[in-house]
Amino acid sequence: MSTAERSWPLWEVFTQGKDGEPHQHAGSVHATDAEHALQNARDVYARRNEAVHLWVVPSAAITASTPEDMGPFFDPANDKAYRHPQFYKVPKGVKVF
């Protein structure tokens, strides 16, 4: 081989299984551009009608929370039990609320 080949950029693939469902992460593909990434994603992740819709996103464009943040970052959700319906008492006489 004359010259070393560069890796193509990495894209994350999200598939929507059925109309109305959310898009879910399926995996990733390498591709030269967005159009190419869509075609590769179709061939790799939707050979059996697993998708009616696809998103491809450059992996480098994704910002994610880090595992180290897991505790502190999500802390604010932990001490607000009153956000859940189980927090509240309903008078005994009420059968169906």
Site string for other proteins, 26-65 (x = CB under 8 A): -xxxx-xx-xx------xx--xx---------------x-
CB of 66 to other proteins, least distance (A): 6
Tell me, what DSSP letter sits at residue 18? S
Of the candidates 18, 15, 39, the one whose C-alpha atom is nearest the C-alpha of residue 29 is: 39
79 is a contact residue toward other proteins (CB under 8 A): no
* CB neighbour burial string for 4-36, b if at least 16 within 10 angstroms, e if fewer: eeeeebebbbbbbbeeeeeeeebebbebeeeeb
- Where along the sequence are the contacts to other proteins (CB under 8 A)? 1, 5-8, 10, 27-30, 32-33, 35-36, 43-44, 47-48, 64, 66-69, 72-73
